[in-house]
Chains A and B, each alone.
Chain A
Amino acid sequence: MMINSLTSPTIAPPEHFISVQGLCKSFAGQPLYEDFNLDLPNNQLVSVFGPNGCGKSTLINMISGLIPIDRGEIWIHGKPIRRAKIGYVFQNYRDSMFPWMSAYDNIAYPLRVKGMAERDCRDRVERLIQTFNIRLDLKRYPYSFSGGQQQLVSILRALVADPEVLFLDEPFSALDFETTLFVRDKLQEIFMATGIPMLMVVHNLEEAVFLADTVLLLSKRPTHLVEAVPFTVPRPRTPDTLTSAEFIEVSRHCLEIFRQEMRK
C-alpha cells in the first residue's frame, strides 16, 4: 500500500497534463468534492462548465494550488503542484494587475520574482510581444488600457515564464461582448502557437465549447464529473464555426446534460 502510493507519480501517465485522484474538499462541513477523479489529456484546451455553486473556480484553484485540499492527490505533468510551473489568469484583471507598475513591469514581474537578470527579462518580454503581434505601449499603466487590453496583458503575464499549464478563471466574464471576441481570438492564437495545455473555467456554454478540445460538465454539489464532451473541429475556429453542424450538435448535447443536472 505504502509502496504503491510512493510510486504513483511515476505511474501517472505522462500523457496527462493534469491528473487528480481521490480529491476531497468541504466548506464548513458541507462536502463540495468527494473522491473526485480527473485525467486531462495532454496538449488540450479544456473548459469547465457547470451549474452555479458547483465549485468550478474552486476546482481550478485547488489544482493550481491557490486553495488547499482536504485529501487527495494532484499531479501536473506527473509532478506535485509545488514543482510545476503554472500560469494563472484571474477573472478580474482590475484586481489582479499591479496598478503601480507599468504594463511592461507587470508582464516582467514573474521573471523578476525568479531573479532573472534585467536584460534577459527584457528579451523575454520582447519576444513574447513580437510572437503575438501585440501593439500596446507597455510603458503605460494598466488602468489606462481598455478592459480587453488589460486582460490581454494579464494573459501575457501568465505566459511570460513559460508555464507548463495555463489556468484561466472566467477570463471573459469581466469583458463586454466585443472585447470578449478580441481576447478569445488572441487566446486561440496563443494556444495554437505555444501548445501550452489550458484549463479554463467559463460561465457561458458557447464560450465553453468554442475554444475547447474537451468540455468538462460538472454536476451540482457534491460535485462530480458528468461527462467530458470532446469537440474536434480543427483550429483556427472562426465565427463560421459557431454555425457548423458539429458545434451546434455539441452545444445541444452539453445543454441537455446541463438541464438534466439542474432538474436533479
Chain B
Amino acid sequence: MTASSVRSSNSSAQDSLIRSVDRLLPLVGVLVLFGVWWLIAISGFVNPVLLPTPIATLGTLITGMLTGVMLPDFIATVLRTFSAFLMAAAVGVPIGVALGSSEKLYRSMEFLIDFFRSTPASALIPLFILFFGISDFSKVVIAAFSAFLLIVFNSAYGVINAKQSRILAAKVMGANRWRVFKDVLLLESLPQTFIGLRSGISISLVIVIVAEMFVGTEQGLGKRIIDAQQVLNVSDMYASILVTGILGYFLNMLFLLLEKRFVHWSGK
C-alpha cells in the first residue's frame, strides 16, 4: 500500500463520517426547540399548568398512542382527511384537466376559482353546517371543497403550461387531438397535478382539524385538542398537537414519495 492510497482511504473514511453527520443536521433544530422549551418550562417564567416539559409531553404522547387512548381520535382524523382528499381528487383532477385543455373555459372559470381559493375555507364552515348539518359528512365535504379548489387549479395549470414543442412533436407525428390529450397533455400536467394533490392533502388535514373543533364530533384530534384545553389537561393538548404535526409531516412525505415514483422525469 502506497502512502497516497493510505491517505485517500483515510480521507474517504472522513468523507463518509462527514456525510453521516450531515444527515443528522435536521435533528439539530428539533433538539434546539426541545432545549428552549425545556428551559422555559423549568425556569418558572411560565405557569407549569400552561407549559409542561417536553419530556412529560412526549411521555403523554407515547403512552397515549401505545395504550390506544389517542388511537380512535387519530384514526377518525386520518379517515376524514383521506375521504375528503379522495373526493376532491376524483372530481378535481378531471375537471382541472378539462378546464386546462380549453383556454376559453379556463378564462371563464378563473375568477371563480381564484375567488374561492382566496376565501378562507374555515369561513365557510357555518354555511356547510346549514346545508349538511353537523354530520360527519359535513366535515368531510368542507375539507374536500377546499382541497378541490387547489387540485383543480394546479391540474389546469399543468395542462395550460404543457411544453408546446411536445404538443407540436406529437402533432407532426400524426397524433389527433384525442391522442395529443391522452399521450401528451395528461402526462405533461402530472408534475403540477402532484403539487396540487400534495397541497390538497395538507389543506384537507387543516380543515378537518378545524371542523372537528367547531362542528362537534365524537372523535377526532381536533376535538381532543379543544377538549384537553377546556379541562386544562395541557400535556394531552400538547401531545395531540404534536400528533397532528407528525401526521401532516408524514402525509407530505408520502405524497413526495408517490410523486417521485410516478413522475420520475420531473426536473430532468
Contact = CB atoms under 8 A, between A and B. Distances in A.
Nearest to B264: A141
B166 interface: yes
A99 B265 contact: yes
A205 interface: no
Contact of A98 (B166, B172, B174, B264): B166
Contacts of B190: 100
B265 A95 contact: no
A99 B266 CA distance: 9
Interface string A67-91: 0000000000000000000101010
A21 interface: no
Given A90-B169, A113-B174, A98 B187 contact: yes
Nearest to A143: B268
A90 B165 contact: yes
A241 B172 CA distance: 34
B1 interface: no
B173 A109 contact: yes
Interface in B156-184: 163, 165-166, 168-175, 179, 183-184
In terms of DSSP, what is the predominant structure of the interface of chain A?
A: loop
A98 B184 CA distance: 8
A40 B235 CA distance: 84
Nearest to B174: A113
A161 B172 CA distance: 12
Contacts of A113: 170, 173-175, 179
A92 interface: yes
Interface string A159-178: 00100000000000000000
Interface residues of A, number: 21
**Max chain B C-beta neighbours (<10 A), residue from A65, A96, A114, A161:** A96
A66 interface: yes
Contacts of A99: 265, 268
B265 A141 contact: yes
Interface string B228-268: 00000000000000000000000000000000000011001
A64 interface: yes
Nearest to B186: A100
B165 A96 contact: yes
A88 B172 contact: yes
**Max chain B C-beta neighbours (<10 A), residue from A86, A113, A143:** A113
A52 B200 CA distance: 47
Interface in A30-61: none
A64 B174 CA distance: 12
A95 B165 contact: yes
Interface in A105-148: 109-110, 113-114, 141, 143
B175 A96 contact: no
Nearest to B268: A143
5 closest residue pairs by CB, A with B:
A99-B265, A143-B268, A110-B173, A95-B165, A96-B169
5 contacts: A88-B169, A88-B173, A90-B169, A95-B165, A100-B264
